[in-house]
Amino acid sequence: MLEAFGQEAVCQAMLEFEGALAQAQAAEGIIPAKAAEEICRLCHVESFDVAAVVAASGRAGSLAMPLVKQLTERVAQRDPEAARYVHWGSTSQDVVDTAMVLATRRALVLIDRDLDALVDHLFALYARHGQAPVLARTLMQPAQIVSLGFKLAAWTAPLVRARTRIQVAAQAALQLQLGGAVGTLAAMGDRGAAVVARVADELDLRVPQAAWHAQRDEWLTLGTQVGVLCGSLGKVARDLSLMAQGEIGELSEPSGGGRGGSSAMPHKRNPVSSMIALAAAERVPHRVAALLGAMTQEHERGLGNWQAELAEWAGLFISTHGALKALAEASRELEVDEGRMRINIERLRGLVCAEALSMRLALTLGKAKAHHCVEAWSQAVVREQRHLRDVAADALRADPALAPLLGPPELEALFDADAAARPAVSAAQRQMEALQAARAASVTKHARDSDQHAPQ
């Protein structure tokens, strides 16, 4: 991903644009065919001094001018006549925006693949451990019993949807930028539209409704969707890191191979993938904010805001993809300790079944009174370090009014972890099946398009 937005790759994409532009203009009779040929021949980054282009870009304001200058010089060495037609009628933003579109298309292929892999791994974990009872936790307190599959479904669904949303957004955003000085292609006379069509065709990009030099909404919509994806990845990492705490130990990231050892504490197994994803989720919202803030562009091309947008864009993708790759890696060999999940449930002495008990009693006692009973018993559980089942059994036995409400076997059943997890198991199954179906549909449809734009 670092390569997708690397200077080399962006310069190469810029040269692809320049080559395609020259060809299209030759085909439309705007520039001589021979000039286009000469220009295209030189549009390969290998023969460019990328470092010099980058160094000059500081003063020039973007990569475009120094690159075009180098290209013109190179063409001039072979054919001074042809050199006149380099970058003809175009503007810096045309070439830079289009290069960013091409780089982004490659980046999206990587995101799509790793998102697919991560979802695959989550489905595999679901298949293996989906039924296992585990604590649900709300406000960072143990709440009730669910299944691990229920948690996996809550992780998976936003990722499956993100994939679709990003594909939709990309369809609108991956379009050619070509408007010339102020967006009208005035220098190309009445052949502007035809040139746009040809260049878009050559680069396999959508023909835009108009130059989008300062209409950034479609581009930004793609950016915000990548941001939403990163938020969903952060949620996975947050849960994973919490469940991997030494005192909880329900999940652990795979170790070995240079991952996550501690230089000072030899026994620690640091959740390095979660760390990477959490760092990304911490940073990416600010990338999105910067992009949105940069939308207030002045007139036909902004001063500073377009440049800020450019600079923030790559970071958004690199961070998000870093999070994605880290979690795809962690989830492939994630260790699930079903035993610890049951121990953690047991250690709460039945308190997580208090709602079930309360609801059951409420059927007869009414909600308020039932709540009140169970609250008192729960305090006894904490005070006397006993199991709620036992406290409740004693209380029921002791009170002739309550005793008939709930027999011992029914009471016992209320505290069975597998039984308690059943509603979660069903809910997860419904959602995972729906996701699987949506996925099947979307994946098929998308496969063709994305493959051809994979980075080499």
Site for its own copies in 365-424 (CB under 8 A): 366-369, 371, 374-375, 378, 381, 388, 420, 423-424
Q: If binding is defined by CB under 8 A, does position 430 make contact with its own copies?
A: yes
Chain positions 287 to 316 lying near its own copies, rule: CB under 8 A, are 287-305, 307-308, 311-312
Residue 124 CB neighbours (<10 A)? 14
Least separation in angstroms between CB 300 and its own copies: 5
Chain positions 311 to 340 lying near its own copies, rule: CB under 8 A, are 311-312, 322
Q: If binding is defined by CB under 8 A, does position 67 make contact with its own copies?
A: no
Among 101, 185, 330, 406, binds its own copies (CB under 8 A): 185
**Separation CA 387–CA 348 (nearest Å):** 8
Q: Among the options 105, 165, 269, 301, which is catalytic?
A: 301
**Separation CA 350–CA 336 (nearest Å):** 23
33: Cα separation from own chain's centroid: 44
The contact pattern for its own copies, residues 111-150, with x = CB under 8 A and - = no contact, is ------------------------xxxxxxxxxx-x---x
Beta strands (DSSP E) in 213-267 are 251-252
Dihedral sign (CA 152, 154, 155, 158): positive
Least separation in angstroms between CB 262 and its own copies: 7
Least separation in angstroms between CB 451 and its own copies: 26
Chain positions 30 to 49 lying near its own copies, rule: CB under 8 A, are none
Q: How far is CA 157 from CA 15, 319, 333, in A?
A: 40, 21, 20
**For its own copies, which is the closer residue by CB, 23 or 358?**
358
Cross-strand partners of 145: 135
**Separation CA 88–CA 53 (nearest Å):** 20
**For its own copies, which is the closer residue by CB, 259 or 453?**
259
What radius of gyration, in Å, describes the C-alpha atoms of the chain?
30
Indicate the DSSP class of residue 2: T
**Separation CA 374–CA 380 (nearest Å):** 10
Contact 174, 104 (CB under 8 A): yes
Least separation in angstroms between CB 105 and its own copies: 20
Which runs of consecutive H residues, i.e. helices, occur in 304-416?
Answer: 305-332, 338-347, 354-365, 367-384, 388-398, 408-414
Among 50, 103, 284, 391, binds its own copies (CB under 8 A): 284
The separation between the first and the last C-alpha atoms of the chain, rounded to the nearest angstrom, is 12
Indicate the DSSP class of residue 278: H
Among 186, 413, 447, 454, binds its own copies (CB under 8 A): 186
Among 72, 98, 104, 175, binds its own copies (CB under 8 A): 72
Chain positions 213 to 252 lying near its own copies, rule: CB under 8 A, are 213-218, 220-221, 224-225, 227-232, 234-235, 237-239, 241-242, 244-248
Tokens describing residue 6:
């690397």
Query: Which span (9-17, 112-120, 153-161, 395-403) binds its own copies, by CB under 8 A?
Result: 153-161
**Separation CA 109–CA 454 (nearest Å):** 6
Query: Which span (41-49, 97-105, 177-185, 407-415) binds its own copies, by CB under 8 A?
Result: 177-185
Least separation in angstroms between CB 410 and its own copies: 14
Catalytic, 262? Answer yes
**For its own copies, which is the closer residue by CB, 430 or 447?**
430
Q: How far is CA 64 from CA 13, 298, 395, in A?
A: 11, 20, 80
Chain positions 2 to 21 lying near its own copies, rule: CB under 8 A, are none
**For its own copies, which is the closer residue by CB, 262 or 451?**
262
**For its own copies, which is the closer residue by CB, 79 or 453?**
79
Q: Please give the size of the binding site for its own copies, defined by CB under 8 A.
A: 164
**Separation CA 200–CA 188 (nearest Å):** 16
Q: Among the options 47, 262, 347, 397, which is catalytic?
A: 262
Q: If binding is defined by CB under 8 A, does position 272 make contact with its own copies?
A: yes
Indicate the DSSP class of residue 181: T
Among 124, 154, 402, 405, binds its own copies (CB under 8 A): 154
**For its own copies, which is the closer residue by CB, 359 or 402?**
359
Indicate the DSSP class of residue 402: T
Catalytic, 273? Answer no
**For its own copies, which is the closer residue by CB, 45 or 180?**
180
Per-residue exposure over 307-322, b if at least 16 CB sit within 10 Å of its own CB, e if not:
eebbebbbbbbbbbbb
- Residue whose tokens read 């594909």: 167
Task: State the catalytic residues.
Answer: 262, 301
